[in-house]
């Protein structure tokens, strides 16, 4: 860190995406059972198979454009891309699948048949932009209530310890913050996430932006909760240390207050969204395939049977099924 206090937002940017950041260093963070956190695509291929249905639905709504561009923003090692391609959606013949990932190490793991990039491609194009658990990793301003709402800054004291300092009270106070809160209450101000949604929408000639993430409807919900419940760190699939500890060594993530984003055209829980797209049909298909091949099961039969346990995880209302799915249509 440089001398002098810097906003928490800038600290998080350096800790995650700087030269020695958690996501940018060669041995940086990744999703998966052997990684630092588990996302819906990492549970198994069922999530991607359901998303393939969503892509077909949007492709048909747009009049079957050729090409049909799918942007996987924050693609990680390409797990979702593999699952979508393997599901063989109806739009596959005209689909341009672009996996966007800032990490060189993770881009190297992207599958063949997709376009791998470090930045979002320029528009305009017709298609879908998907952000699965991306916005929670975008740096944000941190507000702290201490005789009024103040902005958190990060500094290094004389002993070399990373410490937090507070600004003068906000003037004016951001409208999303409650007028009063308990001493020490905190709340995120996710300006970058809001700008990301606006930028994604601007790249579309026609299509939709699909955001899947953990979060809440209103900022005040987070301000009323203990901050450790929504401002978390992870490493090795376990909760990490305090967010100021050893910058670059752990993931930093936040529950998204969706009232700070542009108003979406639809909002559902992940469980509701997957049910709407027919996840139950895919699970039943897997169950029947297993029953037909259980006497001498091959790898395909085992994969189809796994849809049962995958669906349980994806639909769990207190887990992944409780995530929020927001969609903006152009």
Residue 71 gets the label, from left (phi > 0), alpha (psi -120 to 50) or beta, of: beta
- pLDDT tens figures, 251-307: 999 999 999 999 999 999 999 999 999 999 999 988 888 888 887 888 878 888 889
Give the residues across from 155 on adjacent strands: 163
pLDDT of residue 69: 98
Class of domain 16-139+191-222+229-276+322-329: alpha beta
Q: Could you give the CA distance from residue 288 to residue 88 in angstroms, rounded to a whole number?
A: 20
Helix (H) or strand (E) holding 270: helix 270-276
Q: Where are the domains of the chain?
A: 16-139+191-222+229-276+322-329, 279-309
Q: Could you give the CA distance from residue 11 to residue 18 in angstroms, rounded to a whole number?
A: 9
Write the CB contacts of 268 (distance below 8 Å, at least 6 apart in sequence).
Answer: 276, 324, 325
Rounded to 10 degrees, the C-alpha dihedral 24/199/72/28 comes to: 10
- What pTM was estimated for this model as a whole? 0.92
Low-confidence ranges of the chain (pLDDT < 70): 1-3, 28-37
Rounded to the nearest 10 degrees, the angle between the axes of helix 46-61 and helix 79-86 is 70
CA 183 to chain centre: 30
């Amino acid at each position: 860190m440089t001398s002098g206090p810097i906003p928490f937002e800038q600290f998080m940017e350096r800790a995650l995406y700087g030269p020695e950041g958690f996501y940018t260093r060669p041995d940086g963070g990744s999703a998966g059972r052997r990684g630092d956190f588990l996302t819906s695509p990492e549970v198994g291929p069922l999530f991607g198979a359901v998303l393939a249905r969503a892509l077909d639905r949007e492709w048909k709504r747009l009049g079957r454009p050729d090409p049909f561009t799918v942007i996987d923003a924050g693609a990680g090692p390409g797990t979702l891309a593999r699952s979508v391609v393997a599901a063989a959606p109806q739009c596959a013949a005209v689909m341009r699948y672009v996996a966007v990932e800032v990490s060189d190490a993770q881009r190297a793991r992207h599958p063949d048949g997709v376009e791998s990039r470090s930045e979002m491609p320029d528009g305009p194009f017709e298609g879908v932009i998907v952000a699965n658990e991306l916005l929670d990793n975008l740096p944000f301003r941190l507000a702290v209530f201490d005789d009024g709402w103040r902005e958190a800054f990060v500094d290094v004291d004389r002993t070399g310890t990373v410490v937090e300092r507070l600004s003068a009270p906000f003037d004016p106070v951001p409208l999303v913050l409650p007028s009063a809160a308990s001493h020490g209450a905190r709340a995120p101000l996710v300006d970058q996430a809001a700008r990301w949604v606006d930028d994604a929408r601007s790249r579309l000639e026609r299509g939709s932006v699909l955001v899947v993430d953990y979060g809440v409807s209103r900022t005040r919900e987070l301000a009323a909760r203990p901050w450790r419940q929504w401002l978390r760190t992870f490493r090795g699939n376990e909760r990490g240390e305090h967010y100021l500890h050893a910058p670059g060594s752990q993931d930093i993530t936040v529950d998204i207050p969706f009232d700070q984003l542009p108003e979406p055209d639809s909002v559902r829980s992940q469980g509701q969204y997957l049910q709407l797209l027919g996840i139950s049909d895919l699970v039943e298909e897997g169950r029947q395939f297993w029953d037909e091949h259980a006497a001498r099961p091959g790898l395909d039969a085992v994969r189809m049977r796994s849809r049962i346990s995958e669906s349980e995880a994806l639909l769990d209302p207190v887990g992944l099924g409780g995530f929020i799915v927001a969609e903006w249509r152009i």
